Amino acid sequence: MSQDSCPLESVAVADAIDELVERVTVDAYGDYEQLTAFWQWFEDEARFPFTATVVGAEVEVMGVDFPGDERRGLVAICRRGGADHLVSLVDVVPTGPMPVLTRQLLDAYRRWSGVAPLPGPRRSSGRRWRYRSLSSVDIELPEPLGLHERGVWDPAEEHWGEAGDELHPLWQEVIAAGPRPCVEMEQVIPGVDADDWDSDPIVDAAELHRAGEHRRARNLLEDLVAQDPRCIDAWGHLGLIAFDTRGPGPARVFYETGIAVAERSLPDGFGGVLGWGWIDNRPFLRCLHGLGLCAWRQRDWDGADAAFVARVWLDPGSSGSLACLEQVRHRNRWSR
């Protein structure tokens, strides 16, 4: 059964489990057929493996099966110490983040079986994160950049490595904070139609920079921000050129200017996600990363830490910024 034909994620939380039990069992009569239906739903909708405990022992749940014994019901295929064991599914208690649909199916099966619900997911106890300004640049804009809603980002639907991997503490905080709204920031490139990227002056400037034509690249980018200072991508590339040719001090000003444009466009107390997957977010995210590198190279440890932490909260998949953060927190000197 496809998610398109049964969008479980859209069911209201208060009624989700009862609704799901009814969906699973609607055409099944008697315990055997209903157990078979639950097993089929786990086969089609659940994601494996996930970590769990069984009577306090840590295991990896590799799948769910129904051997045909109505009294025993569904069993979990649990792996521990390289061996697989069959355990009653109601004895499995998930640990850590897991996909929403998988969690709902576990809750639905427990309710159908008449056993107590699972303890609440850990992520519900997380702190709320809010973006704090990182730029000291004061810039006037003709108007702020637009923000476009892109649904809800849910850490339970993301891949955080292999089961059993130890997650970075910052990732644990991000996961614990739970679902957050996801937005895409408007990107402005003067003279370029949003539907026609065949002639992109940012790409032209990047190619000139790679060819060693730094002055021509800077002139092209400076012309863009003169036309519209909201062109964050131009500020970011000016920062990159300055970083490569003049060092972190001059580069930092450009990166902070691009960040200032974004900050003027974010609402107060913004705590959402600006994922890399939405391409118009990338100029701002590059500026944040660039600011972190500049601060790191200048041994401004607190400034670098703040930039990389913000980047990870805004774009949780940014493992590169997470790796840089570790270097900064260990006070390792920057090296290319």
In the chain, where are the structural domains located?
A: 8-120, 147-329
List all residues 6 or more positions away from 332 whose beta carbon is below 8 Å from its beta carbon.
none
* Superfamily of 147-329 according to CATH: Tetratricopeptide repeat domain (1.25.40.10)
- Provide the percentage of residues in the chain whose pLDDT is more than 70: 88
* Position 102 pLDDT exceeds 90: no
* Position 39 pLDDT exceeds 50: yes
d(CA 260, CA 137): 6
Q: How far is CA 85 from the centre of its chain?
A: 33
Average pLDDT estimate for 308-323: 92
d(CA 303, CA 53): 40
Write the CA distances from 181 to 26, 61, 119, 160, 270, integer angstroms: 34, 30, 25, 19, 10
Who wins on pLDDT, 112 or 97? 112
Q: Which residues of 97-128 are buried (b: 16+ CB within 10 A; e: fewer)?
A: bbbbbbbbbbbbbbebeeeeeeeebebeeeee
Segments in the chain forming alpha helices (H): 13-25, 30-45, 100-113, 169-176, 201-210, 214-227, 232-245, 248-265, 282-297, 301-314, 319-329
Write the CA distances from 336 to 129, 195, 283, integer angstroms: 31, 36, 21
Report the pLDDT value the prediction gives residue 311, as an integer from 0 to 100.
Answer: 96
Kindly state the helix (H) or strand (E) to which residue 243 belongs, with its residue range.
helix 232-245
Report the pLDDT value the prediction gives residue 163, as an integer from 0 to 100.
Answer: 57
Q: How far is CA 128 from the centre of its chain?
A: 15
Ramachandran angles phi, psi of 134, nearest 5°: -115, -5
> Sorting pLDDT into bands at 50, 70 and 90, what band is 127?
low
- Among the residue ranges 3-7, 57-61, 315-319, the one predicted with the least confidence is 3-7
Average pLDDT estimate for 171-200: 82
d(CA 293, CA 249): 11
Who wins on pLDDT, 254 or 179? 254
Paired tokens of 175: 């996961």
**245: number of Cβ within 10 Å:** 15
Report the pLDDT value the prediction gives residue 4, as an integer from 0 to 100.
Answer: 34
Compute the radius of gyration of the chain from its Cα atoms: 25
**136: number of Cβ within 10 Å:** 11
d(CA 144, CA 262): 8
d(CA 241, CA 259): 17
Contact criterion met (CB below 8 Å) for 240 and 251:
yes
Ramachandran angles phi, psi of 223, nearest 5°: -65, -35
List all residues 6 or more positions away from 164 whose beta carbon is below 8 Å from its beta carbon.
51, 60
**CA proximity to 70, closest of 33, 17, 42:** 33
pTM for this predicted structure = 0.64
**44: number of Cβ within 10 Å:** 13
